A and B are shown apart, each in its own frame.
Chain A
Amino acid sequence: MKIIVLVKHVPDAQLDRHLSGEDNTTDRADSILSELDEYALEAALQLTEARGGAKAGNQVIALSMGPAGAVNAIKKSLQIGATEGVHLRDDALAGSDAAATSLALAAAVRHLGADSPVDLILTGMASTDGETSLVPAQLAERLDLPQVTFASELEVDGGRVIARRDSDTHYDTIEATLPAVVSVTDQINEPRFPNFKGIIAAKRKTITTLTLAEIGVDPAQVGKAGSWTAVQTAAARPPRTAGTIITDEGDAGIKLVEFLAAQKLL
């Protein structure tokens, strides 16, 4: 199997995150591999390992679009087990919204499928910075491939993908033919950590850098110029300040209700 896993380099959510600059873009110092993309990588590794792994010719390509630092998300993916990395990097990409991102990623996927066909494009359910969940659906639309998103279970069998997706009101079984774009939720598996062997092995794996020219994308179609949405203003929400904290002395339930009554919440 040949699987492309989309991995994004995002600011660490455990730290304070900021929007900065004239275009209110996300500050990417202290960035890491998006936590939710680890589930997609794990799903890819499980699918290929069940088919003999890298030794049997299976490929798990970690593809990231982003500035220089994004290579760290790729390196981490290689340490976890991806077989090769691809970094789509071009100054013109800065400030891309979901539509422009999906355009560039679609071109990169086509480029990577030129020599041998790709079976699956696996993504996370959302990037932990953009949080839009738009990119997987837009990628499917642009590539004219079946979209199988928010999979909480995934099986590939005889050229078909079978997934489970939970919505608010029902559980669905989704089926599509390969190749397909599949996004997975954090319910699907338990991502592994890189081990010592993986970290050593990663040093020998290749990371290819691609520019827009190499994948045939006009710089005017991406970045701020090619985006269809623009952030106009951004204001940090004042941090929530702690209110009244009491220790239960046997009547805290009643005090709780008194608080609600005072706030007119009953």
Chain B
Amino acid sequence: MAKVLVFIDNPGHALKKSSLELLTIARSLGDAAVAVNGPLNDDVAGAFGANGATTVFRPSSDDLDAYLVGPKAAYLAEAVAASGATTVLLENSFDGKEIAARLGIKLGAGVITDVVAVDQDGTAHKSVLAGSYTTTAKATTAVSVLTVKPNSVTPEPAAAAANPEILTVDVPESASAGAARITGRKDKPASGRPDLTEARIVVAGGRGVDGDFGPVEELADALGAAVGASRAATDAGWIGHDAQVGQTGKTVSPQLYISAGISGAIQQKAGMQTAKVIVAVNKDAESPVFEIADFGIIGDLFQVLPQATEEIKKRKG
């Protein structure tokens, strides 16, 4: 059976939904193994087993986080060799894509990013040109390296849990020579809301919120949604840059995207037009966002959003 290696960077205390998705895809393609970086606690080791991983690789060094991606790619190349994997799956974050990029060069392997589905024969599905085309692509090399977007599959545990063997992989000493160092790190405060890229519902605000994200946040909380924003809103400093949706922000494909006070510029659409259902609230009937909205309201977000929030609370009792 084909061997598939999933890279999971610093799982912490519990596996993220996107990691569970990677494991689910790995199992659908063959025999799944994990290469983990960072501390491995018992719960997470157990979760790897429950998700069918037969082997878990760990790096011989514990300082890979002190460098920007290069040494992690070197470790992963060793883990690929040790596992005999022909497919490597990573998350589609900045770091994930760059580790994949360097791993590809090290192994002479084709890299495909932004993958949303993988067929049995390794064909990857993705959308390109800001969601205007869907394509299939395949690595022509012995090993293929794929970075998979969150919300691509419904994560499911394995039918039969495995009891993974834990093996240590030697990271070559040369891996960190000359690599860029991370010399300072400041954690960002957690919002308590769902992760933007993984959320089922996103409520996003733009310049139209005029400095007040209150109505957007209250509607998001009533819906259990993540909060997004246009670049105009993040540039103005009304909300953190991590909330930016679009070409240079996050790409989201939720079940529902509610856009409020956002005009719908091409760079904004690039990040959200693959959402299943789009609702737009905008004062200006001429706004381009109405061209892509399934349900559009020409109105003032400061009226419409709070009324919707109240109605949802009423219905949910």
A196 interface residue (CB < 8 Å to B): no
Verify B308–A253 contact, CB threshold 8 A: yes
Cβ–Cβ < 8 Å partners of B296 in chain A? 242-246
Interface size class of B (residues with CB under 8 A): 35 or more
Give 1 or 0 for each of A1-34: 1 = CB within 8 Å of chain B CB.
0000000000001101101000010100000000
Verify B132–A237 contact, CB threshold 8 A: yes
Q: In the complex the two chains form, what is the Cα distance from A13 to B79 in whole Å?
A: 40
A154 interface residue (CB < 8 Å to B): no
Verify A147–B69 contact, CB threshold 8 A: yes
Verify B141–A147 contact, CB threshold 8 A: no
Q: In the complex the two chains form, what is the Cα distance from A108 to B109 in whole Å?
A: 22
Cβ–Cβ < 8 Å partners of B300 in chain A? 248
Verify A240–B110 contact, CB threshold 8 A: no
Q: In the complex the two chains form, what is the Cα distance from A177 to B133 in whole Å?
A: 41
Given A146-B178, A175-B183, answer yes or no on A132-B138 (Cβ-Cβ < 8 Å): no
Main secondary structure of the interface of A (DSSP, over half): mixed
Verify B135–A99 contact, CB threshold 8 A: no
Verify B129–A265 contact, CB threshold 8 A: no
- Which of A50-58, A111-119, A164-172 is the contact stretch? A164-172
- Which of A40-48, A73-81, A207-215, A227-235 is the contact stretch? A227-235
Verify B113–A133 contact, CB threshold 8 A: yes
Verify A254–B311 contact, CB threshold 8 A: yes
Verify A228–B138 contact, CB threshold 8 A: no
Cβ–Cβ < 8 Å partners of A173 in chain B? 182-185
Number of interface residues of A (CB under 8 A): 84
Q: In the complex the two chains form, what is the Cα distance from A259 to B277 in whole Å?
A: 11
Main secondary structure of the interface of B (DSSP, over half): mixed
Verify A261–B315 contact, CB threshold 8 A: yes
* Most chain A CB atoms below 10 A, which of B94, B267, B304: B94
Chain B contacts with A in 55-79, Cβ cutoff 8 A:
68-70, 73
Given A133-B97, A261-B315, answer yes or no on A170-B178 (Cβ-Cβ < 8 Å): no
Cβ–Cβ < 8 Å partners of A255 in chain B? 297
Verify B303–A253 contact, CB threshold 8 A: yes
Q: In the complex the two chains form, what is the Cα distance from A100 to B7 in whole Å?
A: 24
Given A137-B69, A166-B241, A233-B136, answer yes or no on A36-B248 (Cβ-Cβ < 8 Å): yes
A217 interface residue (CB < 8 Å to B): no
Cβ–Cβ < 8 Å partners of A232 in chain B? 123, 135-138
Q: Closest CB of chain B to A171's CB: distance in Å?
A: 5
Choose among A24, A167, A252, A257 the residue that contacts B299 (Cβ–Cβ < 8 A).
A252
Q: In the complex the two chains form, what is the Cα distance from A97 to B140 in whole Å?
A: 11
Q: In the complex the two chains form, what is the Cα distance from A173 to B113 in whole Å?
A: 26
Verify A142–B105 contact, CB threshold 8 A: yes
Verify B111–A148 contact, CB threshold 8 A: no
18 example contacts (A-B, Cβ-Cβ < 8 A) are as follows A13-B266, A16-B132, A97-B110, A134-B98, A138-B101, A144-B178, A146-B70, A166-B242, A172-B185, A174-B181, A175-B180, A228-B111, A243-B296, A251-B307, A252-B304, A253-B307, A256-B311, A257-B315
Chain B residue with minimal CB distance to A233? B136
Cβ–Cβ < 8 Å partners of A13 in chain B? 130, 247, 266-267, 270
A91 interface residue (CB < 8 Å to B): no
